[in-house]
Amino acid sequence: MLDATGKTNAELHARREAAVARGVASAAPIYADHAENAELWDVEGNRYVDFAGGIAVLNTGHRHPKVVEAAKAQEDRYTHTSFQVVPYEPYVALAEKLNALAPGDFAKKTLLVTTGAEAVENAVKIARVATGRPGIIAFDGGYHGRTIMTLGMTGKISPYKKDVGPFPTDIYRLPFPSTRDHITVDDSIRALERLFLTDAQPDRVAAIIVEPVLGEGGYMPVPAELFQALRAICDKHGILLISDEIQAGFGRTGTWFAVEHSGVAPDLMTVAKSMAGGYPIAGVVGRAEVMDAMIPGGLGGTYGGNPVACEAALAAIEAIEEEGLLARSTAIGETMRARFAEIGARVAPYRMWDIRGLGAMLAVEFVTDFDTAAPDAALTKSVVTHALKRGLILLPCGMHGNALRIMVPLTASDAIIDEGMAIFEAALADAIAAEHQMAAE
């Protein structure tokens, strides 16, 4: 079925192939026409349940009425002045709100920028100036952006870092705790202690940065005891702790920020994605004295803290508060975790090796069998393909590409979530059947 313009997915794909750089990949071979909450329709009129949420950007769903209304109202006043030229209240109001929401019983200040990578870049810059030190320590599997600096911190080669280097110096990496790789929290801490002896002089390290739940690395939560140990080590050596909340923040894990599950307050946090319900904005929130380390003019950006995006963010945060979406995230997570376990045991025994995450930030990991637990990226890809055919948008993740991550809007109804889970079950059955057919041939 065609829309009123007569466009098709195939036609738009052909135009895209001719006009868009090859390096910009898309997970689904469909083109969006319109969307509402947790549903999306392509240009041919096909409807999809959206469990991807624009890569965890839509905790408040597509086109949340409060967010759209706030953005439109701001557009009627002004759309841009550049905060560095003529400042405006929406930037100040959003900074105040983020300072109040961020964990930690200390004074905070905020910088607003446009993208997550830009936020991480600025967090590193601020940490270096505040401490007078160059070193940054990150973790295997962490994803922090696609700029040269943030790629240097990102702990996954393909597709992000392939053939891109060299990367900046004074970046060090630690092993992330992983049951699959038999790495414990103690192993990670011992590796840090060894790093201090071999390559990273502690009083030359500005910050340790970690995603509280690895995003591209497979939706693996940081164990609370690791966060607590990092906090103690940072305090001992005068190192700043940065929690990269870009994917995990704003209710996705059942708390405003995922680091709150550990009881630890970071010195700096990077935020973006679901902060503004689909509008591009990001930020760094941190200790006031640290955030004030840069001289005036040292921070900013032409579009940073765009007024329309600021108003959208204030509205999205208000919606999370008013609609109880933190509790809703926890409830969705509990329901989906139980449902995934039941489906896996019944439809694909000994293939769904792990169901993990916090709140509604969940992943299911597929393996060839439980004895070897060998990652099965082929089955994962097949499930994604069959799900899309049946009307469900899913995204893979993980170091081996064998996990599916769940980023369904927290505003999705129980009926929509049930529908999505039913499609997932059918898609998994399709993928297993296709696998058996290939083996038979």
Closest CA to 339 of 325, 324, 360: 360
pLDDT digits (tens, 9 = 90+) for 31-72: 999 999 999 999 999 999 999 999 999 999 999 999 999 999
Residues 89, 26 share a domain: no
Domain extent, residue 16, equals: 9-63+324-440
Strand (E) or helix (H) holding 108: strand 108-113
Q: Using the 8-state DSSP alphabet, how is residue 295 labeled?
A: P
Residues 215, 71 share a domain: yes
Confidence of residue 179 (pLDDT cuts 50, 70, 90): confident
Is a pLDDT exceeding 50 seen at residue 1? no
Output the pLDDT for position 441: 79
The average pLDDT across 139-158 equals 94
Q: Where do the H-state alpha helices sit in 238-324?
A: 288-291, 307-322
Residues 191, 84 share a domain: yes
- Between CA 28 and CA 133 the distance in angstroms is 43
pLDDT digits (tens, 9 = 90+) for 352-403: 999 999 999 999 999 999 999 999 999 999 999 999 999 999 999 999 999 9
pLDDT digits (tens, 9 = 90+) for 152-167: 999 988 889 988 989 9
Partnered with residue 357 across adjacent β-strands are 362
Residues 315, 345 share a domain: no
Output the pLDDT for position 165: 87
Output the pLDDT for position 126: 98
Residues 37, 106 share a domain: no
pTM of the full structure: 0.96
Question: Which of 322, 356, 371 lies at the terminal end of a domain, its last residue?
Answer: 322
Q: How many domains does the structure of the chain reveal?
A: 2
Amino acid at 221: P
Average pLDDT taken over every residue of the chain: 96
pLDDT digits (tens, 9 = 90+) for 302-349: 999 999 999 999 999 999 999 999 999 999 999 999 999 999 999 999
Residues 364, 261 share a domain: no
How many other CB atoms are there within 10 angstroms of residue 48's CB atom? 23
Question: Which of 298, 322, 346 lies at the terminal end of a domain, its last residue?
Answer: 322
Output the pLDDT for position 2: 44
Q: Using the 8-state DSSP alphabet, how is residue 399 labeled?
A: T
Percent of residues, the chain, with pLDDT higher than 70:
99
Question: Which of 287, 307, 322 lies at the terminal end of a domain, its last residue?
Answer: 322
Confidence of residue 6 (pLDDT cuts 50, 70, 90): confident
The average pLDDT across 124-136 equals 98
Is a pLDDT exceeding 50 seen at residue 105? yes
